[in-house]
Amino acid sequence: MKKLWVKKRFQKTGHSRRAFGRLTHGAWTVGVLALAHAYSSSWSLSLCEASSS
């Protein structure tokens, strides 16, 4: 009975770890995309300023 409980608990932690990994991966992807967007927008903005002046 105890062995089954340990197995169930292990499966639960494994699942939460997988969900946590997916969550961190999603947050990392969003962060990188936001960073890339901010970088590209600021770069294009400076490019427009340089061409207009």
- Domain with 7, as residue range(s), is 1-53
**What's the pLDDT at 32?**
93
| pLDDT at position 31 | 92
- Angle at the Cα of 22 (from 14 to 16), degrees rounded to 5? 25
Question: What is the predicted pLDDT for the residue at 10?
Answer: 64
* pLDDT value, residue 11: 67
Q: What is the DSSP letter of 1?
A: -
- The rounded distance, in Å, linking the Cα atoms of 23 and 41 is 27
Give the per-residue pLDDT at 45: 76
pLDDT one-digit tens code per residue, 4-47: 766 776 667 667 788 888 889 999 999 999 999 988 888 777 77
Distance CA 27, CA 21 (A): 10
pLDDT at 53 over 80: no
33 vs 4: CA distance, rounded Å: 43
Number of domains composing the chain: 1
